């Protein structure tokens, strides 16, 4: 986007009264999962009323002007935004809540340590106050809802915001018509990285003997781990390809829709594969993976927890390829997405 277009967009953000729904999330830095929330919101709500949260590095005066621009609604969307760490997210949502904005949470995740809960850390207390004042609190999964309950705030399960990206024309219904390629997503597991990569190398070597492999990188910082696994597996150049998908969830789903199967580490790599109707296995590298999967009803089957051993990963991959129909949850996602749209319509398009 050029400078003139950016300036026009900013001016519209500041002065157009019809743009009364501000979308708040972690989108912007090149992470497909975070971008999915923004795309899903813009596709599910009246676009003429929506404006993404904006921040300009090294422009404090402009950021103050943006912060003080009141909006009727603040939609806090996907991602684990509610947690005990120090971020500007809490500061901004708290400020907008105090300004009188109608704050609503949809598909947001929560993460607090037992110590932060028992000791009622500053972030815990501040988030509790914001949530208690909010108009709507609909969270990603049962883990987040339980944490909210421990705060003394009522919430329900919305499901991941990315479920709203479901489109019936993307999934391939005839499994026999799929290609023989396997999609893989590897990256930083935030745990025993060496053991995780060792298991991935064993998996890649095994799959390469009978399948073409496509590596999907959905967060730019995961490229180094991806290349390490490829190099250690000694794959020939004609035996694999690498695709980068950081901003366009629909482009990603269309790219993977014909795959035989998908095995992914990052929540929204495997998650978007499931939304696209691809038989998929998710490596659960954080509790949020189970929070995502719980509403789908197949968590134990579609998840494999870190730390993961090579033998276990190979066994679960064999199950995926032998019984792909057991790893499909697209119909369940479609039903959840329909309910999600009704909840959004009730808040933002009543009557």
Give residues with Cβ within 8 angstroms of 99, minimum separation 6.
Answer: 70
pLDDT digits (tens, 9 = 90+) for 274-291: 999 999 999 999 999 999
Residue 150 near residue 131 (C-beta atoms within 8 A): no
Percent of the chain with pLDDT over 90: 80
Alpha-carbon dihedral of residues 47, 49, 50, 53, nearest 10 degrees?
A: 160
pLDDT digits (tens, 9 = 90+) for 166-198: 999 999 999 889 999 999 999 999 889 999 999
**Residues in the chain, how many?**
351
Q: What is the pLDDT of residue 295?
A: 96
Start-end of H helices in 19-165: 32-44, 60-67, 88-99, 114-118, 122-133, 142-151
Report the 10 Å Cβ neighbour count for 336. 20
Q: What is the pLDDT of residue 32?
A: 95
Is residue 338 predicted with pLDDT exceeding 70?
Answer: yes
Report the 10 Å Cβ neighbour count for 198. 17
Give me the half-sphere count of Cα atoms (radius 13 Å) on the Cβ side of residue 195: 12
Is residue 119 predicted with pLDDT exceeding 80?
Answer: yes
Query: Can you tell me the distance from the alpha carbon of 335 to that of 197, in angstroms, rounded to the nearest whole number?
Result: 36
Instruction: Kindly tell me the burial class for residue 141, based on how many C-beta atoms sit within 10 Å of its own C-beta (0-12, 13-18, 19 or more).
Output: buried
pLDDT digits (tens, 9 = 90+) for 12-61: 777 777 889 999 988 777 899 999 999 999 999 999 999 887 665 566 77
Q: What is the pLDDT of residue 250?
A: 98
Q: What is the pLDDT of residue 351?
A: 72
The first and second tokens of residue 127, run together, are: 């988030």
pLDDT digits (tens, 9 = 90+) for 239-248: 999 999 999 9
Mean pLDDT of the 107-115 span: 94
Q: What is the pLDDT of residue 217?
A: 98
Q: What is the pLDDT of residue 67?
A: 66
The DSSP output letter for 275 is H
Secondary structure (H, E, C), 199-267: HHHHHHHHHHCCCEEEEEECEHHHHHHHHHHHHHHCCCHHHEEEEECCCCHHHHHHHHCCCCEEEECCH
The first and second tokens of residue 102, run together, are: 């109608």
The DSSP output letter for 306 is S
Q: What is the pLDDT of residue 347?
A: 96
Report the 10 Å Cβ neighbour count for 120. 12
Query: By C-alpha distance, which of 111, 110, 112, 108 is closest to 160?
Result: 108
Mean pLDDT of the 132-151 span: 96
Cis ω before 329 (30° cut-off from 0):
no
**Measured between alpha carbons, how far is residue 125 from residues 25, 84, 112, 184 in Å?**
21, 10, 11, 40
Is residue 262 predicted with pLDDT exceeding 80?
Answer: yes
Is residue 228 predicted with pLDDT exceeding 70?
Answer: yes
Q: What is the pLDDT of residue 1?
A: 53
Residue 281 near residue 317 (C-beta atoms within 8 A): yes
Helix axes 249-256, 32-44, angle to 10 degrees: 110
**Measured between alpha carbons, how far is residue 351 from residues 249, 338, 347, 348 in Å?**
31, 18, 10, 10
pLDDT digits (tens, 9 = 90+) for 196-206: 999 999 999 99
Please give the model's pTM, rounded to 2 decimal places. Answer: 0.92
Is residue 164 predicted with pLDDT exceeding 90?
Answer: yes
Query: By C-alpha distance, which of 146, 140, 77, 163 is closest to 290?
Result: 140
**Measured between alpha carbons, how far is residue 230 from residues 46, 75, 184, 240, 285 in Å?**
44, 40, 11, 9, 20
Q: What is the pLDDT of residue 62?
A: 65
Q: What is the pLDDT of residue 2?
A: 61
Q: What is the pLDDT of residue 332?
A: 97
Least confident of 86-100, 202-216, 256-270, 278-292: 86-100
Q: Helix, strand or coil for residue 100?
A: coil
């Amino acid at each position: 986007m050029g400078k003139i277009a950016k300036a026009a967009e900013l001016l519209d953000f500041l002065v157009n009264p019809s743009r009364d729904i501000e979308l708040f999330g972690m989108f912007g830095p090149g992470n497909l999962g975070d971008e999915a929330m923004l795309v899903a919101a813009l596709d599910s709500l009246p676009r003429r009323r929506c404006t993404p949260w904006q921040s300009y590095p090294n422009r404090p005066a402009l950021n103050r002007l943006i912060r003080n621009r009141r909006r009727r609604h603040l939609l806090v969307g996907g991602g684990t935004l509610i947690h005990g760490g120090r971020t500007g997210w809490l500061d901004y949502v708290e400020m907008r809540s105090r300004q009188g904005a109608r704050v609503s949470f949809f598909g947001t995740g929560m993460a607090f340590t037992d110590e932060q809960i028992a000791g009622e850390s500053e972030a815990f207390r501040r988030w509790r106050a914001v949530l208690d004042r909010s108009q709507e609190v609909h969270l990603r999964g049962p883990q987040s809802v339980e944490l909210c309950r421990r705060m003394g705030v009522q919430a329900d399960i919305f499901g991941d915001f990315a479920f709203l990206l479901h489109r019936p024309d993307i999934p391939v219904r005839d499994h026999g018509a799929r290609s023989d390629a396997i999609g893989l997503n590897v990256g930083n597991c935030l745990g025993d990285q060496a053991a995780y990569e060792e298991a991935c190398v064993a998996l890649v070597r095994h799959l390469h003997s009978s399948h073409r492999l496509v590596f999907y990188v959905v967060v730019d910082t995961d490229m180094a781990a991806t290349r390490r696994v490829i190099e250690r597996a000694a794959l020939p150049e004609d035996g694999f390809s690498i695709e980068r998908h950081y901003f366009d969830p629909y482009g990603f789903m269309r790219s993977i829709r014909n795959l035989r199967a998908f095995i992914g580490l990052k929540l929204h790599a495997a998650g978007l594969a499931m939304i696209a109707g691809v038989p998929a296995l998710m490596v659960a590298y954080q509790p949020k993976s189970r929070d995502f999967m719980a509403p789908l009803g197949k968590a134990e089957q579609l998840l494999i927890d870190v730390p993961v051993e090579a033998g276990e990963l190979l066994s679960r991959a064999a199950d995926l390829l032998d019984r792909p129909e057991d790893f499909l949850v697209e119909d369940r996602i479609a039903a959840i997405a329909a309910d999600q749209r009704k909840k959004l319509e009730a808040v933002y398009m009543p009557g």
